[in-house]
Amino acid sequence: MAQCRDNSWQPTFVHDIDRPEPNGAPFYVLPNDQGFVKLRGNTAAEWIEHARELIQTYGVRDPRGYTGPEQFTGVQCGCQRGLSEGNSTCAQFLAGR
């Protein structure tokens, strides 16, 4: 996954590159700076189901190349300390980790 480095786009899902979750799950970015929700489950199939629920409720922040919850990797980025703070979503995410 690519790192977000600036505000050229805002991801729907983020990962912590420096301290990844043990099961690899991404976090959904809630609208209006309400926070982040770790996707439930231990596999991509389980994450997709939770991603679908969140997307149906809150939507997708940047639809580039995105056609459904199975392609959540198309609307995500990695957040890495020292490199990603130029992206406001990553900066907020990293500050809370």
pLDDT band at 1 (very low <50, low <70, confident <90, very high): low
* pLDDT computed for residue 62 by the predictor: 78
Residue 4 inside a domain? The answer is no
In-domain check, residue 18: yes
Total structural domains in the chain? 1
Look up the pTM and report it. 0.91
53 belongs to a structural domain? yes
Residue 47 has pLDDT above 80, yes or no: yes
Does 81 map to a domain? no
* Mean pLDDT estimate for the chain: 91
Domain assignment present for 76: no
| DSSP secondary structure letters along 48-93 | HHHHHHHHHHH--S--TT--SGGGGGGGEEEE-TTTSTTSHHHHHH
Domain ranges, residue 42: 13-71+89-95
